[in-house]
Structure 1
Amino acid sequence: MTLPFFVYGTLRPGEPNHDLFLRGRTSFEEPARLTGAVLYDGPGYPYAVEEPGGTVYGELVTAPREAYGDLLGALDELEEYAPGDPRNLYERVARETVRDADGTPVRAWVYVAAPAVAARLRVSGKLIEGGDWRAR
């Protein structure tokens, strides 16, 4: 399934992983938001945790078809995501709750906190008020 990516932390333009992983590998980037999630501060990077009523701000990133597989693999590796691995810190999920710059719903990949991580964050994590990593 070829979907754009919703990025909300170190992969956003101006953040360190954008240059390392996305610069020159995307065909389109635009401001976007993820509804139904809140943002927690992690050790050097954020976690989106699915939560009704919340909003997370970031960018919607589209990769050219010929670069898609390589980019998907690189982002999975960065996020240390392996399908079905109980040690995952993040899960890559397809969500229809991403809105592009015009507010139009877009189905996109989102790396959200894995269930055990999300449970810990809800109890003792530091919520990023307003859902914007840059404004923390």
Structure 2
Amino acid sequence: MSGSALPFFVYGTLRPGEHNHDLFLRGRTESEEPGRMRGLVLYEGPGYPYAVEESGGEESAGEVSGEVVTALPEAYGELLGALDRLEEYVPGDPRSPYERVAREVTRPDGTVVRAWVYVAAPAVAARLRARGKLIESGDWHTRS
């Protein structure tokens, strides 16, 4: 699993101060630091957000704010499974509302790291693009 033990980029209810942070991350992380992921836009969901990958080429200016979470090595497998269940992600299942994908995230010091991020699955993304409520700031904490 060493090649896939990536940190996680969280942007919604898993962020510090949100209800799922304590339930899933407390005691399982080595570090948590702010990050920004380009190429995504954020939409309101029923009590949680969806990050949607932009489909435009060079004009993809969307950016989502969140945290880069590095799991404790001994907790990684358990945390990965718990987050997959939380996001109802089943690899290869077209009914999954999210997909877990590896994307680049920028830390405050400008360094870039690859991290797992849960993005809206294609059918959900298409529905949100057509009639979803965009969170223009790209930040779940500052939505209104």
TM-score, normalised on structure 1?
0.98
Q: Does 1:120 align with 2:127?
A: yes
SS at match of 2:39: strand
Q: Alignment length, in residue pairs?
A: 135
RMSD over aligned CA atoms reads 0.6
Q: Does 1:81 align with 2:84?
A: no
User: How far off its partner does 1:114 sit?
Assistant: 0.2
Quote the residue 2:57 is aligned against: none
Quote the residue 1:100 is aligned against: 107
User: How far off its partner does 1:127 sit?
Assistant: 0.1
- Once residues 5 and 109 of structure 2 are traced to their aligned partners in structure 1, the CA distance between those partners, rounded to angstroms, is 21
**Counterpart residue identity of residue 127, structure 1:** L
Q: Deviations over 1:2-55 (max 9, x none)?
A: 000000000000000000000111000000011110000000000000112100
Runs of 4+ in 1 over 2 A off after TM superposition: none
Any unmatched runs of 5+ in structure 2?
55-59
Quote the residue 2:26 is aligned against: 23
- Once residues 108 and 61 of structure 1 are traced to their aligned partners in structure 2, the CA distance between those partners, rounded to angstroms, is 9
- Once residues 107 and 90 of structure 2 are traced to their aligned partners in structure 1, the CA distance between those partners, rounded to angstroms, is 27
- Once residues 43 and 36 of structure 1 are traced to their aligned partners in structure 2, the CA distance between those partners, rounded to angstroms, is 23
- Once residues 21 and 141 of structure 2 are traced to their aligned partners in structure 1, the CA distance between those partners, rounded to angstroms, is 14
- Once residues 14 and 122 of structure 1 are traced to their aligned partners in structure 2, the CA distance between those partners, rounded to angstroms, is 28
Any unmatched runs of 5+ in structure 1?
none
User: How far off its partner does 1:64 sit?
Assistant: 1.3
- Once residues 87 and 101 of structure 1 are traced to their aligned partners in structure 2, the CA distance between those partners, rounded to angstroms, is 35
User: How far off its partner does 1:70 sit?
Assistant: 0.2
SS at match of 2:34: strand
Quote the residue 1:56 is aligned against: 64
